[in-house]
Amino acid sequence: MEMEILKQLIADEFDEIDVDEQTGFYDDLGADWMDMLEMMFACEEEFEIEIGETRMKEIQTVGELVELIRQLSKA
């Protein structure tokens, strides 16, 4: 479920619909830090969680973000 919602957020932010858990935000999607902050805010709002900049700086791939969302959603 998280992956499908995240795919939509990525499509909105990066105009990219063909992503999987191995897709890299920086390498494959060409994200910069501002893009990642926007993605963080969108995820925080959509999933009603708090990620924070420190955690977001560690995220490199879509799969890592999905896992973090799952962890924070359980808390």
Four-point Cα dihedral 34, 4, 63, 67, nearest 10: 100
What residues are paired with 4 via a beta bridge?
A: none
To the query of whether residue 32 is one of the catalytic residues in this protein, the response is yes
Nearest 5°: the CA angle 22, 26, 28 is 55
Q: Of 12, 28, 32, 35, which is the active-site residue?
A: 32
Alpha helices in the chain (DSSP H): 2-14, 33-47, 53-58, 62-74
pLDDT of 17: 84
- In which residue are the tokens 């619909």 written? 17
The confidence score (pLDDT) of residue 26 equals 97
Domain count, the chain: 1
Return averaged pLDDT per consecutive 10 residues of the chain, 75 residues in all.
Answer: 94 91 96 97 97 97 97 88
Single-letter amino acid code for the residue at 29 = L
Query: What is the domain extent for residue 23?
Result: 2-74
CATH number of the domain to which 23 belongs: 1.10.1200.10
